Structure 1
Amino acid sequence: MSSGAGQAPDAELSWTSALLKFLELVKYENLAAGISGGVVSTLALHPLDLVKIRFAVSDGLQMRPKYNGVVHCVRSIWKQEGIRGLYQGVTPNIWGAGLSWGLYFFFYNAIKAYKQNGHPEQLSATQHLISAAEAGAVTLCITNPIWVTKTRLVLQYDAGIDPSKKQYRGMLHALLKIYQNEGVRGLYKGFVPGLFGTSHGALQFMAYEELKKEYSFHKNVAVDAKLNPLEYVTMAALSKVFAVTATYPYQVVRARLQDQHTQYSGVMNAIGRTWRNEGVHGFYKGVIPNVLKVTPACCITFLVYENVSQFLLSFRQC
């Protein structure tokens, strides 16, 4: 009895000690830099994100606008609704992207520093992968409701020209209405494929870290040495294309689960119906506008992040 009773306080003390150690490694500069990168890239490229989602949910069975391609889609929305139509859902996208990138970099760097345990040696590719996946899972738990509202707002077809079709007036109204009508479950639609989607960020960060490590070794400089903008952009683009190619189908499934126009009973139902009705092609709908959007978005985000974080961290060292 005495040994069992003594283990609980020891375990609690160990957990508290680990938490305090983790908090000591937290750098809020990473949060600020990540938010900056996410907001800038979202403002620049939101229309392509809107186009990607509209293609992703186009299952051929619903009364939706028909688009022949990316350019036709952009022209159609511009002609019918103007610039306002191309920026439907931009508010939750800014909140979601800003918070997601900020929290991702925040947790990722803290987890990575915790695993290094105060030593400067580099982590392995597997350790980078696991650290990024853990950071992605925590971030998704916080931000999933924002992504649901963004999807719903983006899929308000013709809301700009016919107010009667405007189901949601804005981000806060959408959050409230989804909660009232569907409860917490509604705000976390697409969460399961979103968890699978953490593999996207994990693969991207692993590739980015490994490219930086190998390139720094090739140039014979420290891994954390500042690179020029072209070098950051090149490594960010290569890592993003690699991650998108490997994981895109989860984004289609997630968008369809969050869509207010079609009901699925769950992840497997969405996968099954997509496969039966559209085949493999269905899981890659919207991939072209997605690549056109996420590659430059990633480059902008990482470029802003690297420069802002190094600028802010320079004050910590003074």
Structure 2
Amino acid sequence: MSSAPDHGGVTEARLSSKPVSAVSLAGQMQQVFNHVKIENLVAGLSGGVVSTLLLHPLDLVKIRFAVSDGLDVRPKYSGIFHCMKCVWQQEGVRGLYQGVTPNVWGAGASWGLYFFFYNAIKGYTKEGRQTELSAGEHLVSAAEAGILTLTITNPIWVTKTRLVLQYNADQTSKQYKGMVDALVKIYRHEGLPGLYKGYVPGLFGTSHGALQFMAYEELKRDYNKYKKVPSDSMLNPLEYITMAALSKIFAVATTYPYQVVRARLQDQHNTYNGVIDVISRTWRNEGSIGFYKGIVPNLIRVTPACCITFVVYENVSRFLLGQNK
């Protein structure tokens, strides 16, 4: 997931944007929680799990290309299908699904929490208003939801990256037996900072989700206006797929380099001194193209994944919310 700006104080600043005193902050928080719906969590989680299970092999390919910086330990692949064929021949289906457990946990939790926080923040912002939220308000709501979600899920993404980058040809790199083993060993050897490697570029990555959700909301609203129906009217699956695909392509094209930086920081085969070091070394050794390695398998994976997630989310949330009315 991708993973959707850039500091933890955004939510606090947002909460204080309404004219209230500091004494009433607790009351404001209560207002936000009044808009929390467990149905959004369940629906988002369902969409994330389904899309991840179907498309995990493409995520594995994307990460392997993203970190391909010439180290001898890494297998050499000539393209997407060559990579998948090599992994299949060496390790079978199991090889293509290396890292799937933290990916399912991470994607499920990320999408579930993202929709959970996003709808609560959006509902709070709109409270008492007759007008629709602006594109900027959708952007900020999604960014805040992304920061909260990333803070909770970053350790899961670190374990997924480590597991995906265990190459069969290098048995010494196979140091993790699974998700829990990876979490324990990373914490034991690297402490809490090890579990939060890639967090800073991940914060920038919240702009990815923010741009995607802003585009998705604006496309839906404008389309419903064009059809002259209420802005929150239900669309058919093909319409949801179209809106989700367009918004995802827009977000990926805008923010992809952060994913390369993040994956390289989390990689166990190389050592960087931070985000600036990754950027400078990638630029020096590989040029601008280095920041877009893996973008083709990423687009092939995330576009249908996003479409599946949003279609499942919209339908499951409508069903659950309808059941509780």
* 1-structure distance, mates of 2:302, 2:234: 24
Which residue of structure 2 lines up, in the alignment, with residue 168 of structure 1?
176
User: In the alignment, is residue 123 of structure 1 matched against residue 122 of structure 2?
Assistant: no
CA shift, 1:224, in A, is 1.4
Q: Which runs of structure 2 are paired with 1:106-255 in the superposition (5 Å)? A: 106-158=116-168, 165-255=173-263
User: In the alignment, is residue 298 of structure 1 matched against residue 303 of structure 2?
Assistant: no
Q: Which runs of structure 2 are paired with 1:92-103 in the superposition (5 Å)? A: 92-103=102-113
* 2-structure distance, mates of 1:263, 1:290: 24
For 2:41, the aligned partner's letter is L
2:89 aligned residue (79, 84, 87): 79
Q: Which runs of 5+ in 2 are unaligned?
A: 1-19
* 1-structure distance, mates of 2:195, 2:172: 24
* 1-structure distance, mates of 2:237, 2:185: 43
CA shift, 1:12, in A, is 5.1
SS in 2 for 1:51: helix
> How many positions carry a matched residue from both structures?
306
SS in 2 for 1:241: helix
CA shift, 1:166, in A, is 1.8
* 1-structure distance, mates of 2:285, 2:206: 27
Q: TM-score, normalised by structure 1?
A: 0.94
For 1:37, the aligned partner's letter is G
Listed one character per residue, the Cα deviations across residues 31-66 of structure 1 (whole Å, up to 9, x for unaligned) are 000000000000000000000000000011342100
* Cα pair distance change 1:172/1:182, threshold 3 Å: same
For 1:256, the aligned partner's letter is R
1:277 aligned residue (273, 285, 296): 285
* 1-structure distance, mates of 2:131, 2:301: 35
CA shift, 1:119, in A, is 3.1
Which residue of structure 1 lines up, in the alignment, with residue 16 of structure 2?
none
4+ residue segments displaced more than 6 Å: none
CA shift, 1:164, in A, is 5.0
Which residue of structure 1 lines up, in the alignment, with residue 63 of structure 2?
53
* 1-structure distance, mates of 2:260, 2:214: 23
CA shift, 1:122, in A, is 1.2
Q: TM-score, normalised by structure 2?
A: 0.92
Which residue of structure 2 lines up, in the alignment, with residue 268 of structure 1?
276
Q: Which has the larger radius of gyration?
A: 1
RMSD after superposition: 1.2
CA shift, 1:11, in A, is 4.5
* 1-structure distance, mates of 2:21, 2:304: 46
Listed one character per residue, the Cα deviations across residues 161-220 of structure 1 (whole Å, up to 9, x for unaligned) are x76542000000000000000000000000000000000000000000000000000011
1:309 aligned residue (309, 317, 325): 317
* 2-structure distance, mates of 1:61, 1:72: 19
1:64 aligned residue (70, 74, 81): 74
CA shift, 1:73, in A, is 0.4
* 1-structure distance, mates of 2:321, 2:311: 15
Percent identity reads 70
For 1:204, the aligned partner's letter is Q
Which residue of structure 2 lines up, in the alignment, with residue 5 of structure 1?
none
User: In the alignment, is residue 26 of structure 1 matched against residue 30 of structure 2?
Assistant: no
CA shift, 1:223, in A, is 1.5
2:100 aligned residue (90, 114, 117): 90
For 1:207, the aligned partner's letter is A
